[in-house]
Amino acid sequence: MKKIQYIIFIGLSMITMSCEKLLDAPAKSSLETEVIFSTYDLARGAVDGIKMPMQEVNSYRGRFLPYYGMNTDIEWWDNHTENDKAVDLTTYIALPNNANMDTENNAYGEFFSGIEKANLCIQGLKEYSDPQPGTKFGELLGEAIVLRAIYYTDLLKAWGDVPMRFEPITKETMYIGKPAEMLFMTG
Does 81 fall in a domain? yes
The Cα–Cα gap between 74 and 72 comes to 5
In sign, the C-alpha dihedral spanning 169, 170, 173, 175 is positive
Q: Which pLDDT score is estimated for 52?
A: 93
Average pLDDT of the segment spanning 1-14:
74
User: Measuring CA to CA, which residue among 104, 113, 107 is closest to residue 51?
Assistant: 113
The band of 25, judged by pLDDT with boundaries at 50, 70 and 90, is: low
- Check: CB of residue 132 under 8 Å from CB of residue 178: no
Predicted pLDDT at 47: 98
117, with CB counted inside 10 A (0-12, 13-18, 19+), is buried
pLDDT at 157: 82
Asked if residue 17 belongs to a domain, the reply is no
Q: pLDDT digits over 40-85, tens only?
A: 999 999 999 999 998 888 777 777 776 676 666 666 666 666 667 7
Is 64 inside any structural domain?
yes
How many separate domains does the chain show? 1
Residue 88 lies in a domain: yes
CB atoms inside a 10 Å sphere around CB 174: 8
Full residue range of the structural domain in which residue 93 is found: 31-185
Roughly what angle, to the nearest 10 degrees, separates helices 40-49 and 107-128?
160
Q: Is residue 6 part of a domain?
A: no
Q: What is the 8-class DSSP label of residue 124?
A: H
> Per-residue pLDDT for 18 more than 60?
no
Percentage of the chain with pLDDT > 90? 35
